[in-house]
Amino acid sequence: MARPGVRQQLVDASLEVFQAQGFNGSSVQDLTDAAGVPKGSFYNHFASKEAIAIAAVALYIERANGVEVLRDTKLAPLERIRRHFRTKWKSKKDLGYTEGCLLGSLSSEIGDTHDSARAEFVRVFKGWSNGLARALQEAQDSGDISKDLDPAMLARFILNAWQGTLVRMKAEKSEEPFKDFNTMVFDHLLRG
C-alpha cells in the first residue's frame, strides 16, 4: 500500500489533534509532531492553521458514518433519518462518549474569529440540514408526518438538537441524552 503524502499525513494527524485538544489548544508544532513531519513542511501545504482545520473538517465529514443513509430511497424517509442518527450515536458510544462532533466543536471554538472556517462550517451544516430536509419533505409527501411544519426549519431544529445531544453525551459520558433526543424527535416531533 502506498504511503500517504505529507499533506495527507498532516490532515489525518490534525483531525486527531483537533478532536483531542481543540483548535486553540494545539499548535502547528503539535500537528507536525503528530504527523511525524518537519514543522517547515506544514507551510508547504497550508497557509495557516485555519486552512488545515478546514481540511480536517472535510476529512471528518468524508469519514462520518450515516450520511449516505439519508439518500437511500430503498428505506422509508423516517427510517433513513432514524438510522442516520443511530449510526452517529453508535460511533460516539463506541468511543466511550469521549468525542463530540468536530464540526460542532470547531464551530463553537473559532466560528466567530476565523471567517473562512466559519463560512465552511455554515456550508457543511447547511448541506447536512438540506439532506435532512429532503427526507422530511418525502415523509410529509407520503403522509408519514404532519405537513404543518416547514421541512427546512424542522431539519435545522433537529440538527441543532443533535448538536446539543452530542455535547451532553460527552459531558455526561452517557447515552441518556441520545434516548431523550430519540424520544422527542421520533415519538413526538415526527409523529404522524
- For the chain, the domain total comes to 2
Position 162 pLDDT exceeds 50? yes
Position 64 pLDDT exceeds 90? no
Q: Is the residue at 183 inside a domain?
A: yes
CATH code where residue 175 lies: 1.10.357.10
Look up residue 4 and give its three cell numbers: 500517504
Q: Is the residue at 1 inside a domain?
A: no
Let me know whether 101 and 162 are in one domain.
yes
Interval 3-30: pLDDT, tens: 569 999 999 999 999 999 999 999 999 9
Average pLDDT over residues 95-111: 90
CATH code where residue 22 lies: 1.10.10.60
Please tell me the predicted confidence (pLDDT) of residue 65.
61
Let me know whether 82 and 163 are in one domain.
yes
> Which residue range(s) make up the domain with 103?
65-189
DSSP letter assigned to residue 95:
T
Average pLDDT over residues 145-165: 97
DSSP letter assigned to residue 174:
S
Let me know whether 79 and 46 are in one domain.
no
* Domain termination residue (choose one: 43, 59, 75): 59
Burial class (CB in 10 A: 0-12, 13-18, 19+), 59: middle
Q: Is the residue at 154 inside a domain?
A: yes
Average pLDDT over residues 75-95: 93
C-alpha to C-alpha distances, 149 to 61, 67, 79, 190, nearest whole angstrom: 28, 23, 19, 10
Question: How many Å is the Cα radius of gyration of the chain?
Answer: 18
First to last CA, the chain: 50
Average pLDDT over residues 29-57: 96
Q: Does the global pTM surpass 0.85? A: yes
- Helix, strand, coil percent values for the chain (each to nearest 5): 75, 0, 25
Average pLDDT, the chain: 93
Please tell me the predicted confidence (pLDDT) of residue 97.
83
